[in-house]
Structures are given as C-alpha cells and as structure tokens.
Structure 1
Amino acid sequence: MTTSDDQVETHLAARSALVDSLIERVTDLPSFVAFLAALRDDRTDAAAKDRLNPPSPHGPGAHDWENVSIESFLEAAVGWAEDWKDREDGPLADSNPWRVAARIIYAGKYYE
C-alpha cells in the first residue's frame, strides 16, 4: 500500500467510526438526516470494498455490514427493535425519538 492508500484507508475508517459516534448526537431532524447520510456513505464504501474483496458468506463484509440487501437490513432492524422494546433500561428507553429511530436503523447494519 502506498502512503496515499494508507491515507485513504485512515480516512474511510474514521468515516465509519463517525457513523457510530453520530448516533448519540442525534437530537432532531437535521442530525437524524446527517446520521442517515453518514450511514449511506459507510454502506457505499463497504459495498465497493466487498466487490474488490468479497467477504466470507459466514461473516460480515467491510465495515462490519452483516445485512446488505434491503430485506435483510429491514428484517434485522425490526428484529432488534422487537428484542429490545420491552426492556426499560435498554437502548429504546431513550426519551429522544430521533435517537431511538437512529439506533433501530443502525441495528439493521449488524443485527442477526
């Protein structure tokens, strides 16, 4: 890898970490949309990496994406929300509905 490649990889890793950090900063419609844009960019980059280096069928792809079809993504998000909905101290107990929505959507990325 060249220095330029290293810089690109560092930038992309930072962008993926940004998605994680944005969840807790979601408070309103603009911050929710910013989170969605970051998640979209994370998926776009992961898909490009997966095309170049296909992941194992038994593990996540680039950026830890488990659910790459819209069907599996939505199924995972719904499953995660159903598993957490009755827990008073869980991630859905947050009083901010925008942050709760962001957490549910983000779960579509990784939940199985």
Structure 2
Amino acid sequence: MRVLPVAALALAVSSAAGAAELRPAQAHSLDLGPVQGTAYYTVESDGYRLVATLAAADAAAVPVRVVATLAPDQRVSLSVPGAAGPGPVVAFARRGDRVEVASTGY
C-alpha cells in the first residue's frame, strides 16, 4: 500500500474510549492536527460506505478522499505521522447498526 501524502490509512486499530456515534448521511468534523476534514456514511447493500475527505490548512493543498465499506465489526483509521512518533488518529468502527468515531493522539 502506498502512503498518501496527507493521511495514512491503517486497518485494525482498536477503538478508543469515549467514542461518538455517527448518523447516516450526517457530516462529522475531523481534526488530525495539521489536517482537517469531514466524514459521513451511507447504508448500502454491501455494508456501510464511509467517506472521509481531508486536506491540510494550506490553501494550495489537494484534498484526499478515503472511501471504505464497513461490514459488521470492521474498523478503519486515518492518521497523520508525527515528527516525534505517532500523530493524531481518527478511528471509525462499525458496531452492529452503528458507526462510532474516536480521536486519539492530540
């Protein structure tokens, strides 16, 4: 897998405590430090389609869109590498008919 210049997509990240629940087709703001964005999901026949769009604060930065289809009990995370180690992470987890989002590393 090739690392995207704005965000790295990592699978199998454990969810953090204090997760918030997302609602279908309702935008949720994302804050990954130097990268900001939004995420939403829709209910599809093959799973929940999660769409996250991210961009750096620099006006010249090109946004990146990440799309993942989550089956029950699947997770996906978005992160930005830090200069001194792991940077902030936003993790999405499908739990039954809910999608939770949790942020760590600020």
TM-score, normalization: structure 2?
A: 0.25
Higher radius of gyration, 1 or 2 = 1
Structure with higher helix content: 1
Structure with higher strand content: 2
TM-score, normalization: structure 1?
A: 0.24
